[in-house]
Every structure is written in structure tokens, then in C-alpha cells.
Chain A
């Protein structure tokens, strides 16, 4: 079925960095599939491997330290990792666009925002300068900025406006896939609400697929269709919004939710996950989460947990579910 065409398929992706002769396991056997028109939320804490996964999609992992060890990345069926530099250039900013966390550093301070948006259109669409600028004006208006401001410079815009400009740039060539790396983390909460609303509206009006990287489960609940929870380079649980928010299975996913203050019950005690995120140079054997896990069993420190599919959409990698699909977390 064409409507179910996969815009992005990541298959068994493993990425390492070699730093001072030590191997950093940044992403290990990552699998992500995003159909057209859907948004996938990749959630995890600092150093979980979210950004490394995103950079691999455009083959942007910094070399020589970084190395894609194995796996496949298919954008609309085309293998990115096998693509020539020329093919990649044609893809970046065109078929696949990226929005970074910090709008201040992703804009050129000495070019007007109009020129910056028009640049991608001119290069990828091969249109005249005038046409490209006209297109830029339309894009600015689409993200809620008056077209008359296109001849202004980034410093004349506030943080929220700059992030809108960056989004307009990303959308300039009507991408099949938008990668958004913490797009609202640097923004205030009322501005964040505006930008998230914009993202939701854009999603509804196009077939674009989106990979949303975030540490905020509240944002996931608002804009994503499915979620992957990443810990120490691996996706430990993955499913639809309902799978994760109503029927989560992995002790780490539970820990993430329990660490958040409950807005409706301010007296509820926070239950932090004990301990710290492991050093990716020196991951614990077996399940990387076992030293912090209150459900840990002897096999957890020995064997890698198997991935169990609980339904067509929901899978979890945890020894608790080796023999059963029953929810093993105590209430």
C-alpha cells in the first residue's frame, strides 16, 4: 500500500567512536521505521545515542573518530550509506532536512533570513534567485512570520522566531523526512507550545515523516505517533504512543516516567532511577541497565536481553519478558 511507504528504515545500525584507543559504543543494533506522514519520537538521556543515530541518517557521523560499523539506512528505499558524496549532497537539505536544538548557531549571522531560506531552494530546485526569494517569503509566512521580515538578519529575531526560520529552511524543499533534534529545548514554554503547534499542523498537511529527538516525554505525547526509548546506545523499548504511555514494560521506561513530577499530584514522591548512566566506553556486561535496575536477575549481568515482540507494534528488550508477554513490572 502506497500510503504505508516507509520514508525511513534504519536496520541494525551500529556506530562507534574511537577516542584515545578506546571504543565508544554510541549506537548499537538500532532499528527504526517511519512511514510517510508519521512522527517517531526517539527518547533518552544525555549520551544515549540519539543524536548519533540521527547523524547516521545523512551519513554525517564525524570522521575519523566516528565509524558506522554495520547496518543499513534507507531513505525512501535508497541506501544512504552506499550513496556517493554527490548523491548525498543532493539528498541533504532536499529529501532529508534537519532542525537542530540551538537556532542561534544554525543560522548565518551575516545573511538575511530570506537569503538563507532561498539558498536551499535555489540549489536543489535550480530556480532563479527571484523565484527562490519569492518561495522563501511564502515559507516564512507559513511558519507565522510576516513576509516583510525576510530582509532582516538573525539577530533581529527572538529565539522562537529564529527556530521558526530554521524550520522554514528545513521545509524549503518539501522534504520526505524531517529530523528534529530537540527543536524546542532552548525555547520558553509558551513559545515551545507555539512551535509544537506549528509542527503538528505541518504534519497534518503533508506526507512528510519526522524523527523527533527529545528527552521530554511531554513533547512526545503531543506530537509523536510512536516512540523508541534509548538507553546506552540501544533501543530498549519501542511501540506506539498507547503502547508506551499505557502499557510500558521496560524497567527503564518506567524509571523515566517515575522521575517526572506529576502535575496533578504534587505530593507524589519522585522515584529517581538510582545510580548513573554507564560510561559508553565501559558498558556493563549483559543488559547495560542492570546495575540500576530493581528487577535485575542473575542472567541480566551475563546475557544480552532478547528482544520480544509483544504485538505488531510493541517490542521490549528485557530478560523479564524472555518467557512471557505478561507485564512483569509491579504496580
Chain B
């Protein structure tokens, strides 16, 4: 077991909306070891993006704690936090809207280095930009191009270079490949793996694509309506999912083969509302194994097998 880099304890983020309180992230706890990748999966509206941003304090949490290298970042002042953010970076989903259209590639990659005053010498800074472009596989001839001249894959490479400029320890990747074509998606995923191996970076990889998360992550956490419902090493989760939601989610993946396809579990209905949820299992209404207790008591997250956590009454009974 490696050293724990990031620990999240009872993290909550509620939004007050006209209809009541929206529980975007509701009492989530987990940790990530240094150099590993935790995949966060769930459908739209389950709170995965809000969680990623809350962990970086881009959104202030309602309550709960986030420890980075053992330090409670919720207690840091604005200037201390700015310093800490050098080590905690983010790669956004949409490389079209996350880049400034009026800045060239060089300016875009140079900006964080300038802001943090990392390298004062102009030539040295320029060398660093070139080095970062090499790392992410951008040809030097592109140095003076603007984002609109580039395709999605290259734009995402700029986003990665910018995140790497600070020599971060930890990167939140929010759907980094979902807007890319499959052949380009594979290029970016391989690049991110190489970077992790070479620089020992820890990733939190947020996605809705289960085949991608399985390939990319060491551990996977499944979210449903703001709750963490299951967390396990990737193999264990895919081999023996414990939560009925995870099971349905895995069976819904369209697998690109025509023989030996598994029977699908069809979920009835759609996501219920995360506004003012009752203190019961949030998945109960769609669950095909729903019991009496599920509509009365909210199941806690328990360690049903070694390292395999699940929040479901089916397994609470067993342990």
C-alpha cells in the first residue's frame, strides 16, 4: 500500500435552488494513494463534476474535509490555497471552451508559469514551453497557432500541457476524452498513462464511459445522485459488482462484439431528483432487488469484502 495523497471525509455540497436543497455531493468519503488513478463514474447529474471541483476548492464545500498530503485544504487561506493549487491541477472536458481563443499555444502554456512566477528568465520559460509541448506530443511548428486552428485532440493536449506546467502531484481529469473521436481518444489516454508513469502523478478520472474508466483506473468509485454507492479495485468491480446499480450500469455498456453477449439488466425509469431527497436508498425506485428496508432506511457505505465498499442493504445483511 502506497502513501495516501488525497483523503476526502464526509464531503457535502448542497445548492439552494427554488425547489429546495439540491444534494449534489452528499456525505462522500474516500482516499487516493499516490501514483494511482481513481475513476469516478456515474450518469449525468450524479454529482461527479461538482465533487471534482469541490475537492480543488473551485467550489467551496458545504461541509466535510479534504486532506491533501495530510493537510486540510479547507483551512488554508486564499494565498496558501493558490500555492497549493500548483500541485492540484484540473483538465477540463471541453477543449473548445476551456482555452482562450485569443492566445497562441505558447501563450496559453506559458500563462500559468508566468502567474506562479515559476521561471523568471524569458528564454528559460520558452524552453520550458517547448519541453511541455514535447511531453504532450505537440509539434514545435504549432507554437504560434491559435486554438481555432487546431482539432479537438490537439486542443486537449494543450489543456494537459497547461496542467503539467506546474509539476503537479494530483490532477482531476473531468471527462478529458469524451468529446474526442475514438482514434484520438486512444492517443490521449495513452499519453496520460505515459505521463503518469514518468512523473508519478495521481489522477482522479471523472467519466461516464465505463469501458474507458475500466481501462484507465486502478480503483473505481460509482456515484448515484450525490452518493458514493460502491468503490473497489477495477478488476473486482467489473468481475463482481455488488450494488444493483453498478450491475445494471455494467450490463448496459454496448460491447463492440457480436458473440457471447451477456444478458442486459434493464433499469426501469430514470434518475430521480436530487432535490430534498428522502433519507432512504436513492436507487430504490429503480432497483430490481428492492426490499422493504430500502424505502425506509438509507444504507451506509460498508466494507463488504476487503477493499470493496458498497452502500446497499443486500450486503449490509450479509456482513
Q: Spell out A's residues near B (CB within 8 Å).
A: 45-46, 158-161, 188-194, 196-197, 215-222, 241-242, 245-246, 255-263, 266, 268-274, 276-277
Contacts and interface: CB of A to CB of B under 8 A. Distances in A.
B183 A266 contact: no
B285 interface: no
A241 B261 CA distance: 14
Contact of A189 (B151, B214, B238, B252): B252
Nearest to A48: B181
12 contacts: A45-B183, A46-B181, A160-B270, A189-B43, A218-B256, A220-B256, A260-B182, A266-B238, A271-B186, A272-B184, A274-B187, A277-B181
B293 interface: no
Contacts of A221: 254-258, 261
Contacts of A245: 256-258
Contact of B258 (A46, A242, A276): A242
Interface of B: 43-44, 151-154, 181-187, 189-190, 208, 210-212, 214-216, 234-235, 238, 248-249, 251-258, 261, 264, 266-267, 270-271
Given A241-B258, A259-B185, A193 B212 contact: no
Contact of B186 (A190, A241, A259): A259
Nearest to A214: B254
A216 B257 CA distance: 11
Given A215-B182, A221-B256, A273-B183, 17 more contacts: A46-B152, A190-B248, A192-B252, A218-B256, A221-B255, A221-B257, A221-B261, A245-B258, A256-B183, A259-B182, A263-B255, A266-B235, A269-B190, A272-B184, A276-B153, A276-B154, A276-B184
B184 to A, nearest CB: 7
A236 to B, nearest CB: 14
Given A259-B186, A266-B235, A272-B186, A215 B181 contact: yes
A49 to B, nearest CB: 14
Contacts of B234: 266
Contacts of B211: 260-263
B140 to A, nearest CB: 17
A97 to B, nearest CB: 23
Contacts of B185: 259, 272
Contact of B208 (A188, A256, A258, A273): A188
Nearest to A279: B151
B213 to A, nearest CB: 9
